[in-house]
Amino acid sequence: MTQDRICSTPGCGTGGKLTRGMCSRCYRYWLDHTPVEEREIAPRFVDDFWSQVEKTHDYGCWLWTGKADPKGYGRWKSKHLAHREAWRRERGPIPDGIWILHHCDTPPCVNPAHLYPGTVVENVRDAVARGRAYRPPRKTHCPRGHAKEGDNLVVVHQQGREVHRCRTCENERSNRRQKEARRSRGLRQTRLSDDERSRIVALRREGRTHPAIAREVGRGIATVGRILRDAGV
């Protein structure tokens, strides 16, 4: 048994698992007979956060000298971001969903004067404005090879961003959706004959409603309405 696994209490000499260098019996005795104010703080409970910060001056960056992640952001006790911990200590709790951003754009900086709260959207916008966000080049052709330019370009705004689409593909998708909708409703896909047009007009003159006419002739209400408008009925 090695010396460092033996109880450090004079006259004990018990080996095994130690706490603060003492065996379990001596450790319990120490807890029972030592006032709290006289107990030495264990090294793992010592708060050495600010001792790992290199302060230049009040208005400069305070650089974290402890552990850091691959992006350069400091890590406090491995699981906390150092700049967020600095904000908690100086400004108070951080609400859920709020990020702590840098004015100085220096990842290891923990100076509260250089930090400000924001949302993930603001964080992304800040990264884009500073040129740190990757933006892939815009595609000039659709997957089917149609050029996205001129009359074939459709610009759509979705969730605050601009999306370029191919008009040819959009029209084909729209036509497919319309055909599927008509097929699901049991409507015919053939062109209206003159007899069908005359029948629609005659039914309307008899006082039938548009939905009733559409059900009887097997056409859509919009088609019936268009035929009646063309006929002036």
Q: Read off the pLDDT of residues 189-215 as tens digits, 9 standing for 90 and up.
A: 567 788 888 888 999 888 889 889 888
Q: How many residues does the chain have?
A: 233
What digits encode the pLDDT tens for the residues 118-134? 998 888 888 888 777 76
Mean pLDDT of the chain: 82
Domain that holds residue 220: 194-231
Across 93-107, 132-146, 213-227, the highest mean pLDDT is recorded for 93-107
Domain stop point among 130, 149, 165: 130
- Judge whether 9 and 26 are in contact, CB under 8 Å: yes
pLDDT at position 22: 80
Cite the beta strand spans of 99-213 per DSSP E: 99-102, 115-118, 153-158, 161-166
Task: Count Cβ atoms within 10 A of the Cβ of residue 50 and give its class: 0-12 exposed, 13-18 middle, 19 or more buried.
Answer: exposed
What total number of domains does the chain contain? 4
pLDDT at 40 over 60: yes
Do 57 and 40 lie in one domain? The reply is no
Domain stop point among 94, 112, 130: 130
Residues with Cβ within 8 Å of 99's Cβ and at least 6 positions away in sequence, in order, are 117, 118, 119, 120, 122, 123
Do 143 and 120 lie in one domain? The reply is no
Do 3 and 76 lie in one domain? The reply is no
Do 91 and 123 lie in one domain? The reply is yes
Do 18 and 90 lie in one domain? The reply is no
CA dihedral 71, 77, 78, 80 (to 10 degrees): -60
Do 199 and 184 lie in one domain? The reply is no
Do 59 and 95 lie in one domain? The reply is yes
Q: How confident is the model at residue 3 (pLDDT cuts 50, 70, 90)?
A: very low
Identity at 76, one-letter amino acid code: W
Q: How confident is the model at residue 71 (pLDDT cuts 50, 70, 90)?
A: confident
Percent of residues, the chain, with pLDDT higher than 70: 88
Do 38 and 25 lie in one domain? The reply is yes
Do 214 and 177 lie in one domain? The reply is no
Do 22 and 56 lie in one domain? The reply is no
Q: How confident is the model at residue 2 (pLDDT cuts 50, 70, 90)?
A: very low
